[in-house]
């Protein structure tokens, strides 16, 4: 009986009309232009009043990065509606990065590209120009370490 009651409460909460949540929900609009193939992050958007319209956006979702990816260019001010955007830089698969290895006073750098999309702070695999695959942590400075 308790299980059924909790499901009923959840069903009622999810089915309330949108105006009941309009004051609490945060809608977003682009604060800068976004090129096709670029990931959307929280730094690219700003809060805006919610509208009744549901925008038809040229977005795809990249599961590796856990972020929306623009499939077409979108200008600054584009209404995004209620969308969850996480902060932090994202390096797309194949994007050129600098791998920096520090050991004592020695610093070695190599040009690499992520095998899959990586978010800042995450570890993943990168491939060097000679095909070697290495594990690295992606830093927000545009490099992998």
DSSP E strands, 63-132: 67-70, 79-81, 90-91, 97-103, 106-114, 118-119, 123-128
Quote the pLDDT of residue 15: 39
Quote the pLDDT of residue 74: 96
- Taking the whole predicted model, whether its pTM rises above 0.95 is answered as no
> Which residue spans of the chain are classified as CATH 2.30.30.760?
90-144
Quote the pLDDT of residue 19: 41
Quote the pLDDT of residue 55: 86
pLDDT at 7 over 70: no
Quote the pLDDT of residue 25: 58
Q: Model confidence over 33-77: pLDDT tens digits?
A: 999 999 999 999 999 999 988 888 999 998 888 899 999 999 999
pLDDT at 1 over 70: no
Architecture of domain 90-144 in this structure: Roll (2.30)
Residue among 40, 45, 41, 42 nearest 28 (CA): 45
pLDDT at 100 over 50: yes
Q: Is 138 exposed, middle or buried (0-12, 13-18, 19+ CB in 10 A)?
A: buried
- What does the mean pLDDT of the chain come to? 81
């Amino acid at each position: 009986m308790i299980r059924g009651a909790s499901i009923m409460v959840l069903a009622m909460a999810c089915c309330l009309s949108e105006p009941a949540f309009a004051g609490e929900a945060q809608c977003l609009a682009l604060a800068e232009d976004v090129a096709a193939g670029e990931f959307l992050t929280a730094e690219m958007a700003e809060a805006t009043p919610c509208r009744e319209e549901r925008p038809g956006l040229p977005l795809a979702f990249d599961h590796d990065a856990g972020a929306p990816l623009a499939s077409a260019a979108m200008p600054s001010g584009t209404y995004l509606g209620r969308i969850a955007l996480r902060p932090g830089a994202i390096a797309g698969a194949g994007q050129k990065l600098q791998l920096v290895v520090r050991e004592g006073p020695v610093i070695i750098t190599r040009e690499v590209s992520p095998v899959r999309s990586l978010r800042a702070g995450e570890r993943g695999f990168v491939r060097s120009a000679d095909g070697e695959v290495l594990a690295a942590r992606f830093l927000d400075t545009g490099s992998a370490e």
